[in-house]
Amino acid sequence: MTTATTIKAKIKSVLGTISEIAQVEDYPNQDFNQYPAVEISYDGNASDYLTNSENDIIFNFTLFIYQLVEGAIDRKKARLILEELSDTICDTFDIDEFLNGISLPANKTMIGVKPTTVKIGESEDGKFTLAELEIAVRVTKNI
C-alpha cells in the first residue's frame, strides 16, 4: 500500500468513529444511502527538502461532506448540520493529530494532520448542501 493510500484508509477509519457521520466512502460517490455522508478525495502531494537527509511531504486530501436537502431537512437545517459536523471533524483531527495507530513505511514519520479550510455551499442541482474540508497531512521521509 502506498503512503497516500495508507493515510486515506486511516482518515476513513477516524471518520468512522464520528457518530454524526452516517456514511464514509473513500472514492467518488454521490449515491449515498444515509446522510450526512463523507467522500474522501486524495488531491496529491508536495515535497521539499527539510535537511540534507530528510524530505518534508505534505499529502493533501479533501473531505466532501454531503447533506441531502429534502423533507424536514431544509437548506437552513442542512447548512447548520454541516457547520457543526465540519467543526466536529476538525476537533477530531486536532485531538488525533498524529493518526494514532497508523503504520507508515520504516523511512517515513508522521508529523501531523492539519484541517486547513472549510467551504460550505450548495450543489449545482440544489439537491445537496455540501461542505469541502481540506486536510494537510505532513510526513517526513529519510533519504
Q: What is the pLDDT of residues 59-114, one digit of tens each?
A: 999 999 999 999 889 999 999 999 999 999 999 999 999 999 999 999 999 999 99
Does residue 24 lie within any of the structural domains? yes
pTM, two decimals, is 0.94
pLDDT value for 72: 85
pLDDT of res. 29? 79
| 139 occurs within a structural domain | no
Specify burial of residue 33 (Cβ count, 10 A radius: 0-12, 13-18, 19+). exposed
Residue 137 covered by a domain: no
Write the CATH number for 56: 3.30.2000.30
Containing structural domain, residue 21:
3-130
Please provide the distance, in angstroms rounded to a whole number, between the alpha carbons at the two ends of the chain.
19
| C-alpha distances out from residue 141 to 8, 13, 43, Å | 18, 24, 19
User: Is 106 inside any structural domain?
Assistant: yes
User: In this structure, is residue 136 part of a structural domain?
Assistant: no
Which pLDDT score is estimated for 44? Answer: 97
